[in-house]
Amino acid sequence: MRRKLVIANWKMNGHRSMVDQLLAGLQTRLSELSVQVVICPPAVYLDQAQALLKGSPISLGAQNASEHVTGAYTGEISAQMLREFGCDYVLLGHSERRSLYGESDAVVAQKTLAALKERLTPVLCVGESDAERASGKTEQVVSRQLSAAIEAVGVEAFSDIVVAYEPVWAIGTGNTATPEQAQAVHYHIRQQIASLSEKIAADLTLLYGGSVNADNAAELFAMPDIDGGLIGGASLDEQAFTAICNAAG
Ligand code: 13P
């Protein structure tokens, strides 16, 4: 279902007392939510976050999941385990996973399948690098990343998937895409899905991520194909994240 959605990706940041403080603060500030808010803390804090968010409208998500169900995969965490710790969402194919940990389109597609089997909502991240944009390959790269997932799970499954467009050059750089640049790629993504199913495309929730902050969120979220944001750095700041959530509402 297409909805307004803001997701916090804390990445590898935080500690126990910060989790307590930030989640308590956000619950107070976001008590009258008009958007769906999801917090993705590091996996070791999911248990703590699950307890703190009990009864709250804020949902819990993870930053990654294995493509495997169980077995000898040292260091990995399965979708089933994430479910047990209260996760409803999981980020998959984040550019940091793709570039730093070698996750291919095929692996991300298998992870998407594994997450869906456990009824987690995959947040499928796509986006081009600086060099790819400079050489005019943005749409080609995003389409390739999207196609791999469509082939693995089928277009119908996209009624249970959120897609996040995160241009690599905008992540953590302060160089956010302009609303027009982001809108153009979001439109392209929705059209690619529409070429297979207009209904699924119309219902698809599409997030923008990459240096979203309290000052630029409203104009990004005002674009017709941008349904919310995937927020990194600014999600660690209670005030900034609250402002971003309100901008989506
Ligand atoms: P920043 O908001 O810090 O640029 O990070 C974006 C991101 O990677 C969210 O997943």
How many angstroms from the chain centroid is the CA of residue 85?
Answer: 18
Percent of the chain with pLDDT over 70: 100
Domains of the chain, residue spans = 5-248
- pLDDT at residue 231, rounded to an integer: 98
The answer as to CATH 3.20.20.70 being correct for domain 5-248 is: yes
- pLDDT at residue 161, rounded to an integer: 98
Contact criterion met (CB below 8 Å) for 213 and 237: no
User: 209 pairs with which residues across the strands?
Assistant: 230
- pLDDT at residue 249, rounded to an integer: 87
Contact criterion met (CB below 8 Å) for 223 and 183: yes
Query: Which residue of the set 103, 132, 166, 186 is catalytic?
Result: 166
Low-confidence ranges of the chain (pLDDT < 50): none
The structure's pTM equals 0.98
User: 8 pairs with which residues across the strands?
Assistant: 39, 231
The residue whose CA is least distant from atom 2 of ligand 1 is 232
Distance 20 CA to ligand 1 centre (A): 22
110 lines ligand 1 (CB under 6 A): no
- pLDDT at residue 59, rounded to an integer: 97
